[in-house]
Amino acid sequence: MSRQITTKTKILNAAEQLFASSGFAETSMRQITNKADVNLASVNYHFGSKKDLTVEVIDRYLSQLMPDIATEIERVESISNPEQVLSCFVVPLMNLEQINRGGTTRFLRLLGRGYVDAQGHLRKFITETYSKEIAVIMAALHKSMPHLSEQDLFWRVHFSLGTSVFTLAASDALTEIVRADFDTEVTTEEILTRLLPFISSGFAR
Amino acid sequence: MSRQITTKTKILNAAEQLFASSGFAETSMRQITNKADVNLASVNYHFGSKKDLTVEVIDRYLSQLMPDIATEIERVESISNPEQVLSCFVVPLMNLEQINRGGTTRFLRLLGRGYVDAQGHLRKFITETYSKEIAVIMAALHKSMPHLSEQDLFWRVHFSLGTSVFTLAASDALTEIVRADFDTEVTTEEILTRLLPFISSGFAR
DNA sequence: ATTATTCTTAAACGCACGTTTAAAACGGAA
DNA sequence: TTCCGTTTTAAACGTGCGTTTAAGAATAAT
């Protein structure tokens, strides 16, 4: 532990960037270690395997995000509508920038890839590791829409998750189209601002 | 051209199935040719490369779907709300079953994977190849919501697309959760039935 | 200062990948 | 039957992959 930036962190940062922009399977360990400027074997030394690395890359964000969201929700004393719950996601998401610049977008992009990749491995990991926080979120949503059945709630949650994760996963391409077609620059925060009402409407119907 | 089912079709069917359930990068040519019960080299003979194969797999559906949607929209004389436009997608989507049983789900799953994979290659291919049909769809949507700015429309279209594609891409895992948690079986059509109102609400807000 | 532990390194390993080759088999036309 | 273009086949090619190894360097503990 003498380096200012440890080898482990350098690997995490490089891997995260490459995974987010190219995907897990399409990114090789040699690309990662080149970008991180560390030896090839150090990934296996510090993480065990490539698969373990991918989990740790995502969990670096999740381990901060999930408790943050849960406390944010518990801070709100009376919940009356779904938009209130959803807006509890925004600040914790934006705080991911503290881990890395552009971290919010990259995390959501990773989440999108992970959800589509590798039949449910990531989903399983998340639901098992953060079951407590997920329970808090679901309870709050249920409280905000007591008329909804559990199954209705379940589907709408996943529709919303899908929209968010997919949009952010594709946000590079989308912002490029917007730039070309409308001659406008778009930030992640702006996308979220457009996204929230869209999701809320679907939720509340 | 003597076989009843040609080698080319056998490859397309096998590839489609494997791509949909495991992803493009994670599926090898040897897996494909084994499943199709054809020789390994025949993929390169008939399609040129693996990449060309992936495009053809998706385009087999797109080339039927996109014109179908366009004509379906043009059939409706007066468009007043977005749900009318969106419902023009349902029948053409369901008709994909004619290409292959379970084709609708598989196609949407492929679309989801393709959109997240390989930085926008698929998106570019689609927008270039089916620009005419896309214009028809966008015009109809605009007509159904004349108050919306072009940029608003753009974002909501992609939010909707994201929700659909992501949900169907993850539908295996989701139906499994539903089975475990609610002890209920869910069909693709049921998912679409839940999905449409969700999207419409977001659209119309 | 010596030992023990942690970390880094270069090299190699075996394997699976997409692709190419060249010969064989096939099918219709002459 | 012979010929010719098309399709299929088995084998091999070279490449890049994730991982392992064993030795060396650096750091911490005694």
Residue of B nearest to A115 (CA): B170
Name B65's Cβ contacts closer than 8 Å, sequence gap at least 6. B92, B93, B95, B96, B107
> What distance in Å separates residue B24's CA from the closest CA in chain A?
10
* Residue at shortest CA–C1' distance from D17: A28
What are the 10-residue block averages of pLDDT along chain A, 205 residues in total? Answer: 76 95 92 97 97 95 97 91 88 92 88 73 86 94 92 91 81 83 87 88 84
For residue A66, give Cα distances in angstroms to A30, A72, A81, A127.
Answer: 31, 10, 21, 11
pLDDT tens-place string over residues B38-90: 999 999 999 999 999 999 999 999 999 999 999 999 999 788 888 889 889 98
Question: pLDDT tens for residues B128-185?
Answer: 999 999 999 999 999 999 999 989 999 999 899 888 888 877 777 788 888 988 999 9
Give dist(CA A54, CA A161) in Å, integer. Answer: 20
3-state class (DSSP) for residue A71? helix
Give me B117's structure tokens: 């994979």
Helix (H) or strand (E) holding B178: helix B171-182
Nucleotides of chain D in contact with protein CB (under 7 A) are 7-12, 16-22, 26-28
Mutate to test the interface with B, among A163, A178, A186 (most CBs of B within 10 A): A163
CA distance A156 to A143: 15
Q: What residue type is assigned to position A127 of the chain?
A: T
Task: Give the C-alpha separation, B74 to A126, whole Å.
Answer: 45
| Chain A: residue whose CA lies nearest to B202 | A198
Give the distance, in angstroms, between residue B123 CA and nucleotide D15 C1': 30
